[in-house]
Amino acid sequence: MITSRHLFGPGPSNPYPEATDALARPLLGHLDPAFLAIMDEACEMLRTVWGTANARTLPISATGSAGLETIMMNLLEDGDRAVVAITGYFGQRLAEMARRAGAEVETVEVAPGEIVDPADVERALAMKKTKLLAFVHVETTTGARQPIEPMIAAARKHGALVAMDCVTSLGGIPIDIDAQGIDAAGSCSQKCLGAPPGLGPITISARAMEAVQARKAKPHTWYLDLGLLFQYWGETGAEKKRAFHHTAPISSIYGFHEALRIILEEGLEARWARHENAHDMHVRGLDRLGISLFTPAANRCPTINVIAVPSGVDEAKVRARMLERGVEMSGGLGQLAGKVWRVGVMGHNAQAERVERFLGALGESLRT
Ligand code: PLP
């Protein structure tokens, strides 16, 4: 028997009930014109959420990591250089993906909770010709939000493309791919977008795609080869040939489509304000419990609240008690294991009554 939970960990967050209902819709074939229309609508809504007109915007048929790996494996090849800004575990992963793509990788790393100084990034970029600057927008292990504009400015100055991990930010806080000048970005379906896990949305600028098309050799991946993927997913403005590539996860795309529809119905600005309000309410509630956030105030992001475990508290026991009350939160990863709890205030869960429920369960679990 699977029990329903309030998923207040860093993801998956509770999906919209309409998105899970959509999973049960009748299956269509992956080349059925009716399904292709749903795919196109999902990509169009995804463009709006991301603030982009990029023709190459689609959900990869695998989780967020696969979307990010698609970007790294296609934008980088043997002999390229990449600079990766690291604010935690997920930045480390981007660096490892870049190495596996064959790139020489220079990292700029900071202590947990901190953000990278763009001047350090610029120094790293100035050392040698660099193809790509990659960074995580909101690091889920520390709660730190890296400001986008100074990173873009540093990359532009040195002629590098920019790739951003938006897994914990897309749909919860403002992102404007075109206005900000981001060349490639990857996210996931299961956090602020309010769909079940299983899809890795990506967007690729024309400039980034030119770099992919100018590669010396094919990417060391077949499934995640952008050239092949776009032959199936099609590109807006281009004639859609729709060559078979893989069997799309039809039901997941129904759910994703439904979540995107709800997001646009709510409106992006209203949504961002709702996340901000839910975060403020969460922080005030923690304060009443005598608990503070681990992440310095200047670096915080509404969507992921990384809490310092109060001294003398058995953190694993509190999490287990929360689960008995039907509420999930997560412990820390890596060097923050045992020191923090990670609480996602995302998507459908970024609402007053759901945050109240979380705070109530935390208060009771700290007492008993
Ligand atoms: N990047 C960040 C910042 C994440 O938080 C996560 C997952 O939590 C990932 C990448 C990986 O995404 P997925 O688990 O969907 O593969």
pLDDT exceeds 50 at position 157: yes
Q: Is 217 helix (H, G, I), strand (E, B) or coil?
A: coil
What H or E segment, with its residue span, contains residue 283?
helix 268-288
The tally of domains found in the chain comes to 2
Cα separation, 78 vs 219, whole angstroms: 10
Range of the domain at 78: 17-264
3-state secondary structure of 100: helix
**What pLDDT does 2 receive?**
72
Please state the pTM of the whole predicted model.
0.97
Q: What is the CATH number of the domain that holds 42?
A: 3.40.640.10
Atom of ligand 1 nearest to the CA of 11: 8
Strand 330-331 vs strand 327-328: parallel, antiparallel, or unpaired? unpaired
In the reported structure, the alpha carbon of residue 111 is separated from the centroid of ligand 1 by a whole-number distance in angstroms of 20
Summarised one tens digit per residue, pLDDT across range 15-28 is 999 999 999 999 99
DSSP 74-91: HH--TT-EEEEEESSHHH
340 phi, psi to nearest 5 deg: -135, 160
- 188, 165, 140: which is closest to 306 by C-alpha? 140
> Which pLDDT tens digit goes with each residue over 211-228?
999 999 999 999 999 999
Residue 108: pLDDT over 50: yes
**Ligand 1: lining residues by beta carbon, under 6 Å:** 10-11, 63-65, 90, 136, 140, 165, 167-168, 188, 197
User: How far does the centroid of ligand 1 lie from the alpha carbon of residue 65, in Å?
Assistant: 6
Measured distance CA(84)–CA(91) in Å, rounded: 7
Report pLDDT for 239: 53
Atom number in ligand 1 closest to CA 190: 15
Asked whether residue 37 is assigned to any structural domain, the reply reads: yes
Cα 213 to chain center, whole Å? Answer: 26
Q: Are residues 198 and 308 in the same domain?
A: no
Domain boundary among 201, 229, 264: 264
Helix axes 64-75, 226-233, angle to 10 degrees: 120
Computed over every residue of the chain, the mean pLDDT equals: 96
**1 part of a folded domain:** no
Same domain membership, residue 256 and residue 152? yes
Q: Long-range contacts of range 222-230, CB-CB < 8 Å, 24 or more positions apart?
A: 224/60, 224/66, 224/69, 224/70, 224/73, 224/74, 225/74, 226/56, 226/70, 226/74, 229/58, 229/60, 229/70, 230/56, 230/58
- 342 domain residue, yes or no: yes
State which H helix or E strand residue 130 sits in. none
| pLDDT over 90 (residue 241) | no
130 vs 161: CA distance, rounded Å: 8
Query: DSSP 3-state assignment of 202?
Result: strand
Task: Provide, rounded to the nearest whole percent, the portion of the chain with pLDDT above 90.
Answer: 94
- The predicted pLDDT at position 236 comes to 56
| pLDDT score at 240 | 64
Position 243 scores a pLDDT of 81
Tokens 């997920």: give the residue.
90
**Is residue 122 included in any domain, yes or no?**
yes
**Which CA distances in Å does 198 have to 56, 131, 137?**
19, 30, 21
For ligand 1, what atom is nearest to the CA of residue 68?
10
**Structure confidence by residue, pLDDT tens digits, 46-68:** 999 999 999 999 999 999 999 99
**C-alpha 316 to ligand 1 mean position (Å):** 22
Domain boundary among 204, 235, 264: 264
Picking from 233, 264, 295, the residue at the C-terminal end of a domain is: 264
Q: How confident is the model at residue 235 (pLDDT cuts 50, 70, 90)?
A: low
Q: What was the pLDDT predicted at 232?
A: 83
What is the arithmetic mean of pLDDT over 328-347? Answer: 96
> Which runs of E-coded beta strand occur in 77-154?
81-86, 104-109, 132-136
pLDDT band with cut points at 50, 70 and 90 for residue 237: very low
Report which protein residue has its CA nearest ligand 1's atom 4.
Answer: 167
Q: Are residues 256 and 306 in the same domain?
A: no
